[in-house]
Amino acid sequence: MSRKNIINTIRSYAIIILLHLIKQQVENRTTHSWDVSIVNSVPGIREKNKRRKAGGYYLPPLELRLLLESAYPNAIGEAALEVASREYDPETIEDMVNQEDIIDRAWVHPSFASWLRGSEHAVTSYTSPETQFFHKTGFLHAFLRCSRGTLLMAIATC
């Protein structure tokens, strides 16, 4: 698989994550399906981003952040097709959500944060009401408090 194809695959996973985070914010709720899609997309990004033979990653942290930002408009467009039975157009949805908040929530997800640990952009804790991160014995635990009050736990090895 070429580098370009791998980056396109990573971008597709990023759109899925952003799409579900946008839907959660617009509809002020979440579903098990959305939570599972987010949790399943993160290992996909981590796996595709890792270079097998040469080691390292195809996209270092800064480029991965830029990829999230470039995928955001596509996620807004897809959200317009799925949110509230197509009640909103992309511009309305973009006005309803905070782009920085959505990208930050995706950015501090366990796999992203574990790539950043040890760099100048390290994310060691994130203390919004919805998300809390902490490090414990080689694991990065992410607890995402869903709007319906349930607790979703994702564990990524560091």
Q: How much is the pLDDT for 4? A: 93
Distances in whole angstroms, Cα of residue 92 to Cα of each of 38, 41, 73, 108? 23, 26, 13, 26
Q: How much is the pLDDT for 81? A: 93
Residue 127 phi, psi dihedral angles, 5° rounding? -120, 40
- Confidence at 38, pLDDT banded by 50, 70, 90: confident
- Which of 83, 74, 85, 98 is CA-nearest to residue 17? 74
> pLDDT, tens digit, for every residue of 73-114?
999 999 999 988 788 899 999 999 999 999 988 877 655 555
CB 140 within 8 A of CB 110: yes
Q: How much is the pLDDT for 148? A: 34
With tokens 């990524």, the residue in question is: 156
**For 47-56, what is the mean pLDDT?**
88
At residue 52, does pLDDT exceed 70?
A: yes
CB 47 within 8 A of CB 101: no
DSSP string of 27-73, one letter each residue:
HT---HHHHHHHHHHHHHHHHHHB-SSS-SBSS-HHHHHHHHHHHHH
Domain ranges within the chain, ordered by starting residue? 3-113
DSSP 149: S
pTM: 0.70
Q: How much is the pLDDT for 136? A: 33
Q: How much is the pLDDT for 130? A: 38
Lowest mean pLDDT among 2-6, 63-67, 82-86, 105-109: 105-109
**Rounded to 5 degrees, what angle do the CA atoms 44, 13, 79 make?**
150
